[in-house]
């Protein structure tokens, strides 16, 4: 007898997503819905690819975000106590890579360590290598061996799993080691999104990268069709106030829209310079 429904197993990595969404709802994040004119940046990136530098847009974006965060370290700081922040010297970026496990496509987290010190080409290769990594149904984080205590986490009831996350966040050094100090979620890689998405995060700062869309924009007093990137940025108001938050976002806007580092990459290819 045929039933009018069917069951589907939930991948293990999704269980942590449930818990992060629950904990993230209690964070004091300020949400910014931004548009970046990336017409010039994409043009410069296209020229670099023609010269033989196979750099992905997302890898370059991660590099730029990391460099700007180094200029505004409080934006990626963890709250250590009511009177103190803990600022890490490097920017470690957590991101999701879609992998096929069994018959399902599953988002698996990976951490790009010291992203501010790596070139966009190195970040591109790291992401591509992660995509090619073979996984089993028991793997939950790319590039890291799953420890026994991590396997135990997925067998705990929900309230205990969420208690584990609260304990992790109370130890910023451990949290930084496991998940970095910023996260970039790029749904624009999965398909065209005509708008923004409001995500949840437990990181100090989080970037939800949408699609690049053709939109009219006033440039030099003329209406022109430009490539516009939609992005949602969550910033923890517990670690950064409004004025420095705006300065950070202004610097980020200039860096993204001006194609920061593209000239350095072209010079590096000729043996003259490095990124930034």
Torsion of CA 258, 37, 237, 22, to 10 degrees: -130
**Lowest-confidence segment of 12-16, 34-38, 69-73, 158-162 by average pLDDT:** 12-16
How many distinct helices (H) and strands (E) make up the chain?
9, 8
> What pLDDT was estimated at residue 146?
54
What digits encode the pLDDT tens for the residues 170-185? 999 999 999 999 999 9
> What pLDDT was estimated at residue 70?
96
What digits encode the pLDDT tens for the residues 223-270? 999 999 999 999 999 999 999 999 999 999 999 999 988 766 665 565
Query: Looking at the domain that runs over 12-269, which CATH code has it been given?
Result: 3.30.559.10
Mean pLDDT value across the chain:
85
Comparing 61 with 159, the larger pLDDT belongs to 61
The answer to whether 234 and 31 are in contact (CB under 8 A) is yes
Mean pLDDT: which of 21-35, 124-138, 153-167, 238-252 is highest? 238-252
Report residue 29 as tokens. 């994040």
Q: Is the pLDDT of residue 276 over 90?
A: no
Q: Which one-letter DSSP state was computed for residue 133?
A: -
As a whole number of angstroms, the distance between CA 274 and CA 268 comes to 5
255: how many CB neighbours lie within 10 A of its CB? 21
As a whole number of angstroms, the distance between CA 194 and CA 211 comes to 7
Comparing 16 with 216, the larger pLDDT belongs to 216
Q: Which residues pair with 273 in a beta bridge?
A: none
Q: How confident is the model at residue 18 (pLDDT cuts 50, 70, 90)?
A: confident
Q: Is the pLDDT of residue 147 over 80?
A: no
User: What's the residue count for the chain?
Assistant: 276
Q: Is the pLDDT of residue 152 over 90?
A: no
> What pLDDT was estimated at residue 140?
46
Share of the chain above pLDDT 90, in %: 50
Report residue 150 as tokens. 């991590």
Q: How confident is the model at residue 19 (pLDDT cuts 50, 70, 90)?
A: confident
């Amino acid at each position: 007898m045929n039933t009018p429904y069917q069951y589907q197993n939930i991948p293990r990595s999704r269980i942590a997503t449930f818990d992060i969404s629950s904990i993230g709802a209690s964070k004091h994040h300020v949400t910014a819905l931004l548009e970046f004119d990336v017409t010039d940046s994409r043009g410069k990136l296209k020229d670099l690819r023609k010269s033989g530098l196979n750099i992905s847009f997302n890898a370059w974006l991660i590099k730029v975000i990391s460099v700007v965060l180094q200029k505004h370290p409080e934006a990626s700081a963890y709250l250590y106590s009511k009177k103190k922040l803990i600022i890490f010297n490097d920017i470690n970026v957590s991101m999701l890579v879609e992998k096929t496990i069994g018959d399902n496509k599953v988002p698996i987290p990976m951490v790009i360590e010291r992203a501010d010190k790596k070139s966009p080409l190195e970040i591109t290769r790291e992401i591509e290598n992660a995509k090619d990594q073979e996984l089993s149904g028991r793997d939950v984080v790319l590039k890291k061996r799953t420890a026994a205590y991590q396997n135990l986490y997925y067998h705990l009831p929900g309230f205990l799993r969420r208690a584990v996350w609260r304990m992790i966040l109370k130890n910023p050094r451990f949290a930084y080691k496991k998940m970095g100090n910023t996260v970039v979620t790029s749904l624009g890689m999965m398909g065209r999104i005509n708008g923004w998405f409001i995500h949840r995060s437990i990181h100090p700062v989080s970037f939800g990268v949408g699609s690049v869309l053709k939109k009219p924009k006033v440039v030099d007093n003329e209406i022109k069709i430009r490539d516009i990137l939609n992005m949602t940025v969550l910033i923890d108001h517990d670690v950064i106030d409004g004025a420095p938050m705006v300065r950070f976002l202004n610097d980020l806007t200039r860096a993204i829209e001006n194609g920061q580092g593209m000239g350095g990459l072209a010079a590096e290819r000729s043996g003259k310079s490095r990124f930034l």
